Amino acid sequence: MIKANLLTIVSSLVVFCMAASSANAAIRHHDVEYSTPDSTMEGYIAYDNAKKSPQPAIIIVHDWMGLADFQKHKADELAKQGYVTFAIDIYGKDVRPKNADEAKVLATKYKSDRALLRSHIVAAYNKLIAMKRVDPNKIVVMGYCFGGTAALELARSGVPLAGTVTFHGGLSNPTPEDAKNIHGAVLVLHGADDPFVPPAEVEAFKKEMNDAGINYTFIAYAGAVHAFAIPSAGDDPSKGMAYNASADKASWAEFEKFLKKILE
Q: What is the pLDDT of residues 165-218, one digit of tens each?
A: 999 999 999 999 999 999 999 999 999 999 999 999 999 999 999 999 999 999
Which sequence spans correspond to the domains of the chain?
Answer: 23-263
CB-count exposure of residue 9 (10 Å: 0-12, 13-18, 19+): exposed
> Could you tell me the CA-to-CA distances from 230 to 37, 60, 145 in Å, in that order?
31, 14, 10
Residues 6 or more apart in contact with residue 176 via CB below 8 angstroms: 204, 207, 208, 211
Q: How many CA atoms lie within 13 A of 5 on its CB side?
A: 2
Q: Which amino acid appears at position 101 of this protein? A: D
Is residue 147 within 8 A of residue 169, CB to CB? The reply is yes
Helices (H) and strands (E) in the chain, counts: 7, 8
Is residue 251 within 8 A of residue 229, CB to CB? The reply is yes
Burial 98-121 (b: 16+ CB within 10 A, else e): eeeeebeebbeebbeebebbbbbb
Q: Identify the band that residue 264 occupies on the pLDDT scale cut at 50, 70 and 90.
A: confident
Share of the chain above pLDDT 90, in %: 88
Is residue 103 within 8 A of residue 123, CB to CB? The reply is no
pLDDT per position as a tens digit, 104-144: 999 999 999 999 999 999 999 999 999 999 999 999 999 99
Task: Centre a 10 Å sphere on the Cβ of residue 65 and count the other Cβ atoms it contains.
Answer: 23
CATH fold of 23-263? Rossmann fold (3.40.50)
Residue 12 has pLDDT above 90, yes or no: no
pLDDT per position as a tens digit, 59-80: 999 999 999 999 999 999 999 9
Residue 10 has pLDDT above 50, yes or no: no
Residue 25 has pLDDT above 70, yes or no: no
d(CA 245, CA 253): 12
Is residue 61 within 8 A of residue 144, CB to CB? The reply is yes
Sign of CA dihedral 25, 27, 28, 32: positive
How do strand 40-48 and strand 84-87 relate by DSSP bridges?
Answer: antiparallel
